């Protein structure tokens, strides 16, 4: 990631005025800020925040709070350390109060602070380097990305062209970068296979999405509105730099493919996927982004559909959200408490009504597949779409555990649809060899969690179901090569 701390903090995500709040965490973080400012003890307050965020299922935020708890005792070492930790506390506290789970996962500003906290910790103990996906994809299953079998002579020719063009991109003048990007994309398209989980499909989509976002912010090949909030030119430069680094890392995967490796490195798959999700999670997706969104859905990630990718539209949304919040306070809007999560009553009722239909369909699909040992590809995709809709709705309300299980279940069904073994009797579109009991049990758990929410009880974690689904999802497909 390339966000620079010396620049003004960019406006990164739309506010979520109807999202649930974790008041215990908000109050605990405020207490921690006050205690840290007077060089007092912050451990108890941060421990309360961690517990509340965990209970709500806000896992990326919980991970950030854990980093704060580890680093806070180092704040009295120097003025610089104290200022860095104080700034991280303030920015994180404000982000938690925005009630936007996707922002808490994908904010580049939060990640820069998270990386800075780990840098302070690294001066005292050996810690592993952190990467952007550590926050963005916290707790999420990652489907293996395949590398198809390509004739050695053909692969060697593509690799030679790729390396030559990559050198020109990294060492040549900036005005030639657009042409180099196009040539590199042509190489990746030649490598791309038909498998929805082919690594080069993900790679191509991510690189193009980064450059498209750069164009919208005034970068290579286009001019965007860069006035107002957000620092468009600087964000465009960051996106181009991210794209260049990815292209360089892709060259290493070409070497792996030349040695007949069947799967791309998991760490690179995570990093690439997180970068693809980042801007769509923060800003939403427009109709022209449909191809990128399809890739994200195949990996179990959802986005909001809207057109709010310019600073002007973001500022307008912010103002509207502020007015909505003020009006809600003035009306003393009714709320519901689900454990530590306090939700808007109207949003809560809307969620329950939409969730009921989705969960009934999911349970029915899982039961049928479990009884027959087969599942129609279209039915599996329908189940995946229902799961993703449920996950997106739960995310918007703030039900972190429900959202994570629904997203993971959706990913499992997409894996079944794409990688199910073809039925031997020739039934078109049917698959067999699928252990449908795993998604069936997960759907039953999801239904139980929704019943808990409907009864005003905090939904359970569903950890066992997520572990079982993750094992199913991350198992390499038999048709990998």
DSSP-H helix ranges across 57-174 = 59-71, 79-96, 101-106, 108-122, 133-136, 152-171
Residue 4, pLDDT score: 36
**Cα–Cα distance for residue pair 104/96, rounded to 1 Å:** 7
Residue 476, pLDDT score: 81
Q: Do 48 and 62 form a contact (C-beta atoms < 8 A)?
A: no
Element (H, E) at 216: helix 199-216
Dihedral angle, C-alpha 19, 408, 418, 359, nearest 10 °: -70
Domains identified in the chain and CATH numbers: 21-130 (no CATH), 152-312 (no CATH), 334-474 (1.20.120.160)
Long-range contacts of 292-295 (CB under 8 A, 24+ apart): 292/205, 292/208, 292/209, 295/201, 295/202, 295/205
E strands in 292-405: 335-338, 341-344, 374-376
Phi, psi (rounded to 5 degrees) for 284? 85, 175
Residue 76: DSSP 8-state: G
Q: How far are the Cα atoms of 292, 296, 397 from residue 285, in angstroms, in the given order? A: 9, 11, 19
Residue 237, pLDDT score: 86
HSE at residue 59, side-chain half, CA atoms within 13 A, is 17
Which of 181, 159, 201 is CA-nearest to residue 247? 181
Region for residue 107 given its phi and psi (left: phi exceeds 0; alpha: psi -120 to 50; beta: otherwise)? beta
Residue 63, pLDDT score: 97
Q: How far are the Cα atoms of 43, 397, 428 from residue 63, in angstroms, in the given order? A: 15, 20, 46
Give the torsion sign (CA, 191, 193, 199, 203): positive
**Cα–Cα distance for residue pair 322/274, rounded to 1 Å:** 29
**Cα–Cα distance for residue pair 132/31, rounded to 1 Å:** 28
SS3 475: coil
Three-class secondary structure assignment of 370-395: HHHCEEEHHHHHHHHHHHHHHHHHHH
Which of 411, 419, 431 is CA-nearest to residue 368? 431
HSE at residue 363, side-chain half, CA atoms within 13 A, is 12
Q: Give me 276's structure tokens.
A: 């693809």
Q: Around Cβ 76, how many Cβ atoms within 10 Å?
A: 12
Task: Match 């629904």 to its residue by tokens.
Answer: 406
**Cα–Cα distance for residue pair 58/78, rounded to 1 Å:** 32
Residue 333, pLDDT score: 62
Which of 385, 398, 377 is CA-nearest to residue 358? 385
pLDDT tens-place values along the chain, 481 residues long = 333 333 344 446 767 888 999 999 999 999 999 999 998 899 999 999 999 999 999 999 999 999 999 999 998 888 889 999 999 999 999 999 999 999 999 999 999 999 999 999 998 888 788 999 999 999 999 999 999 999 999 999 999 999 999 999 998 887 788 899 999 999 999 999 999 999 999 999 999 999 998 888 765 543 333 333 344 557 788 889 999 999 999 999 999 999 999 999 999 999 999 999 999 999 888 888 999 999 999 999 999 886 544 555 556 555 655 665 555 544 446 899 999 999 999 999 999 998 988 888 788 776 776 666 667 788 888 899 999 999 999 999 999 999 999 999 999 999 988 876 433 344 444 555 556 788 889 999 999 999 999 999 999 999 999 999 999 999 886 544 4
pTM: 0.87
Q: Do 205 and 292 form a contact (C-beta atoms < 8 A)?
A: yes
Residue 478, pLDDT score: 56
């Amino acid at each position: 990631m390339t966000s620079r701390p010396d620049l003004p903090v960019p406006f990164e995500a739309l506010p979520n005025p109807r999202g649930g709040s974790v008041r215990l965490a908000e109050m605990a973080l405020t207490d921690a800020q006050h205690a840290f400012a007077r060089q007092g003890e912050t451990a108890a307050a941060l421990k309360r925040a961690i517990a509340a965020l965990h209970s709500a299922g806000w896992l990326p935020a919980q991970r950030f709070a854990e980093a704060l708890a580890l680093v806070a005792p180092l704040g009295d070492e120097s003025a610089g350390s104290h200022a860095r930790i104080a700034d991280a506390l303030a920015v994180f506290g404000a982000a938690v109060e925005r009630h936007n789970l996707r922002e808490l996962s994908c904010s580049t500003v939060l990640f820069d602070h998270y990386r800075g906290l780990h840098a302070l910790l690294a001066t005292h103990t050996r810690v592993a380097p952190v990467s952007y996906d550590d926050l963005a994809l916290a707790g999420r299953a990652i489907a293996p990305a395949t590398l198809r079998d390509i004739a050695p002579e053909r692969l060697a020719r593509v690799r030679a062209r790729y390396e030559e063009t990559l050198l020109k991109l990294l060492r040549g003048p900036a005005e030639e970068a657009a042409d180099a990007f196009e040539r590199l994309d042509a190489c990746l398209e030649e490598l791309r296979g038909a498998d929805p989980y082919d690594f080069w499909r993900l790679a191509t989509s991510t690189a193009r999405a980064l450059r498209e976002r750069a164009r919208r912010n005034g970068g290579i090949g286009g001019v965007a509105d860069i006035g107002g909030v957000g620092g468009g030119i600087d964000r465009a430069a960051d996106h181009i730099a991210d794209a260049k680094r990815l292209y360089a890392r892709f060259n290493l995967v070409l070497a792996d493919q030349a040695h007949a490796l069947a799967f791309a490195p998991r760490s690179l798959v995570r990093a690439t996927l997180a970068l693809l999700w980042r801007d769509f999670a923060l800003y939403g997706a427009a109709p022209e982004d449909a191809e990128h969104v399809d890739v994200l859905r195949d990996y179990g990630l959802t986005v909001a559909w809207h057109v709010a990718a310019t600073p002007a539209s973001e500022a307008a949304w912010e103002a509207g959200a502020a007015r909505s919040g003020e009006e809600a306070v003035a009306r003393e809007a009714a709320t519901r408490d689900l454990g530590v999560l306090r939700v808007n009553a109207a949003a809560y009722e809307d969620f329950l009504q939409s969730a009921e239909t989705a969960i009934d369909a999911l349970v029915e699909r899982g039961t049928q597949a479990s009884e027959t040992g087969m599942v129609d590809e279209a039915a599996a995709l329908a189940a995946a779409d229902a799961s993703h809709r449920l996950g997106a709705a739960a995310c918007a309300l703030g039900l972190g555990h429900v959202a994570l299980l629904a997203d993971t279940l959706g990913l499992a069904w997409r894996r079944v649809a794409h990688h199910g073994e073809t039925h031997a009797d020739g039934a078109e579109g049917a698959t067999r060899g699928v252990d449908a009991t795993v998604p069936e049990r997960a759907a039953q758990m999801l239904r139980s969690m929704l019943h808990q929410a409907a009864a005003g009880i905090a939904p359970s974690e569903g950890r066992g179901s997520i572990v079982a689904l993750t094992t199913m999802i991350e198992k390499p497909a038999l048709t990998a090569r």
